[in-house]
Amino acid sequence: MCQITEKDTKKKVLSCIQPSGMLTLGNYLGALKNWVSMQEEFDCTYAVADLHAITVRQEPAKLRSQIYSTFAIMLALGLDPEKNTMFIQSHVPEHAQLAWLLSCYTQFGEMSRMTQFKDKSAKHADNINVGLFAYPALMAADILLYKPDFVPVGADQKQHLEIARDIAVRFNNIYGDVFTVPEPYIPKTGARVMSLQDPSKKMSKSDENVNSWVAILDSKDDIIRKFKRAVTDSETVVRYSQDKPGISNLLGIYSAVTGKSNEQIEREFEGKGYGDFKLAVGEAVADELAPIKAAYDKIISDKGELERLYRLGADKAERVARKTYFKAMKKVGFVL
Ligand code: ATP
Ligand code: LTN
């Protein structure tokens, strides 16, 4: 007789993050914070998307250390490796294998519309590789292998998620019910944290200007200094407005960290200048990130335990991934 466990009845969640640099406050507020809050209610699978990271040239030693540190940050956030499935993408070969299959069900035209591809090819004009173009097929594979109901991401990933949904629907229409069509799960505040130096651009860990982003592992002094230097405007009133992208970005960050509404924040800083406001944002962010940094410092020093945990995660992930992958292969007509 087949027993139904709690795991079987829970809705499923999947998300990944690239080890392409120091994780930022944007990654934290846009995605990672939700990963943590979702782990109680959902059956969650979280991965370090190392295969995605090489769509941009990476220095080998640096990539290796970033893979370790990204996995360690996931643990430092309080994600439980026993309860969730946490692993490194390249350790589960079905990701790359299914990506190939899915790329044959994805049109050149729909890939060409991806804004991330356009942005990154403009930024890395000397390395517009096929992997960068095909990136959404690998992301679709990451997702569809685990049949998640929800995918917690920042707003910038919505377009990639839509293509994953389109691919799933297309495949299911031809072959029957193979993939679950997932929903994006985007936070109300913090979904799009902007650069502190140019609030028209998203905060990105691959931005060369270190003052444009706050890293999860930055010291309190660095965090406060970066907020003090944040680009604002020539007014002095703390209020949310599309014409004030710098201040509005800081308002969004403060709101995401403290849970206060824009109106409450505007009232709190009535009659005060930008200096006071920037300091308050810096302190609130530093206080939120301090326990993560403290936990990280302990976790990263024990490589043996780190390895035990990512191997455990890969074993759990592979058991699920293999089933979906073989089902898809069989439907297409491969001899298994
Ligand atoms: P890169 O800068 O190398 O392209 P990235 O930080 O944009 O990397 P990922 O590491 O793959 O990309 O992003 C992980 C998660 O963080 C995704 O869910 C993404 O939507 C979210 N995210 C990234 N930047 C921001 C941001 N500025 N604001 C909110 N969410 C973000
Ligand atoms: N492309 C994503 C990272 C990513 C991802 C995924 C997110 C890779 N695979 C699967 C959610 C689900 C990004 O944020 N740049």
User: How confident is the model over 9-62, as pLDDT tens digits?
Assistant: 899 999 999 998 899 999 999 999 999 999 999 999 999 999 999 999 999 999
Task: Give residue 158's pLDDT band: very low, low, confident or very high (50, 70, 90).
Answer: very high
Q: Specify the residue with its C-alpha closest to ligand 2, atom 4.
A: 16
State mean pLDDT over 221-229. 98
Distance, in Å, from the CA atom of 281 to the CA atom of 32, rounded to the nearest integer, reads 19
Within the chain, strands assigned E span: 12-17, 43-48, 85-88, 150-152, 183-185
State mean pLDDT over 175-181. 98
- Residue 243 pLDDT greater than 80, yes or no: yes
Task: Give residue 209's pLDDT band: very low, low, confident or very high (50, 70, 90).
Answer: very high
CATH 3.40.50.620 domain position(s) in the chain: 6-191+302-332
3-state helix, strand, coil in the chain (%, to 5): 55, 10, 35
What single string gives the DSSP state of each residue in 302-318? -HHHHHHHHHHHHHHHH
- Residue of higher predicted confidence among 205 and 159: 159
- Residue 1 pLDDT greater than 60, yes or no: no
Residue 6 has a pLDDT of 65
So which residues are the catalytic ones? 120, 202, 205
**Lowest model confidence (mean pLDDT) among 1-10, 283-292, 302-311:** 1-10
State mean pLDDT over 213-242. 96
The reply to whether ligand 2 has any atom less than 6 angstroms from the CB of 15 is yes
Q: What would the two tokens of residue 155 be?
A: 């707003």
Nearest to 150 by CA among 7, 308, 11, 294: 11
Residue 205 has a pLDDT of 84
State mean pLDDT over 218-243. 96
Q: How many residues does the chain have?
A: 336
What single string gives the DSSP state of each residue in 166-198? HHHHHHHHHHSS-S---EEE--SSSSSPBPSS-
CATH 1.10.240.10 domain position(s) in the chain: 210-297
Ligand lying closest to the C-alpha of residue 142:
2
pLDDT, tens digit, 9 for 90 and up, residues 244-275: 999 999 999 999 999 999 999 999 999 999 99
- Give the relative orientation of helices 94-103 and 303-332 as an angle to the nearest 10 degrees: 30
User: How much of the chain exceeds pLDDT 90, in percent?
Assistant: 95
Ligand 1 centroid to Cα of residue 236, in Å, is 31
State mean pLDDT over 190-216. 94
Residue 207 has a pLDDT of 87
Residue 5 has a pLDDT of 67
Nearest to 214 by CA among 286, 134, 144, 123: 286
State mean pLDDT over 150-162. 96
CB contact at 8 A, 10 and 42: yes
Distance, in Å, from the CA atom of 271 to the CA atom of 110, rounded to the nearest integer, reads 50
CB contact at 8 A, 143 and 6: no
- Give the relative orientation of helices 60-76 and 303-332 as an angle to the nearest 10 degrees: 100
Task: Give residue 8's pLDDT band: very low, low, confident or very high (50, 70, 90).
Answer: confident
| Best of 156, 196, 204 for a ligand 1 pocket test (most atoms within 8 Å of beta carbon) | 156
CB contact at 8 A, 44 and 38: yes
All residues at 6 or more sequence positions from 7 whose CB lies less than 8 Å from its CB, including other chains: 43
| Best of 44, 55, 132, 139 for a ligand 2 pocket test (most atoms within 8 Å of beta carbon) | 139
- Residue 3 pLDDT greater than 70, yes or no: no
State mean pLDDT over 80-107. 98
Where does 210-297 sit in CATH, by number? 1.10.240.10
Nearest to 114 by CA among 89, 137, 95: 137
The reply to whether ligand 2 has any atom less than 6 angstroms from the CB of 52 is yes
Sign for the pseudo-dihedral over CA of 245, 251, 256, 260: negative
Residue 4 has a pLDDT of 64
pLDDT, averaged across the chain = 96
HEC profile for 7-41?
HHHCCEEEEEECCCCCCEHHHHHHHHHHHHHHCCC
Where does 6-191+302-332 sit in CATH, by number? 3.40.50.620
Ligand 2 centroid to Cα of residue 147, in Å, is 15
